[in-house]
Amino acid sequence: MELLFVALFGALIGLGARYFLPGRATQGSVLVPAIGTVAAAAVWVALTWLGWNWAGGWIWWVSLGGAAVSSVVLNLVISRRRIHADHRMLQRLANTGSPATA
């Protein structure tokens, strides 16, 4: 049951990262919240396998902190790479008129 709450909070953190960071138009609406969800759940499961107590506060802080860090970093990386890829495609189209040539 706790994993469900961690996943929900991870999704909310990812949603916040999507709407408060730049580059929102370069990715789908569910990508960054999904990253937050998966990161929070994966960290939670890993920490429970390591024996951390579910009722302890540290497992919550570390799991949600991992979701925040991964959501922010991957949002910035994905948007930056997409902007550069779109710019290269625009330059290629402007020079050759065909997106298939390299």
**44-100 per-position pLDDT tens digit:** 999 999 999 988 899 999 999 999 999 999 999 999 999 999 999 999 888 886 666
User: Structural domain of residue 76, as residue ranges?
Assistant: 1-97
Cβ 17 vs Cβ 69: under 8 Å:
no
Model pLDDT, residue 98: 66
**Residue 102 included in any domain:** no
Which amino acid makes up residue 72? V
**Residue 18 included in any domain:** yes
Range with lowest mean pLDDT among 17-21, 31-35, 59-63, 91-95: 91-95
The total domain count for the chain is: 1
Cβ 72 vs Cβ 13: under 8 Å:
no
Instruction: Categorize the per-residue pLDDT at 32 as very low, low, confident or very high, splitting at 50, 70 and 90.
Output: very high
Query: pTM value?
Result: 0.85
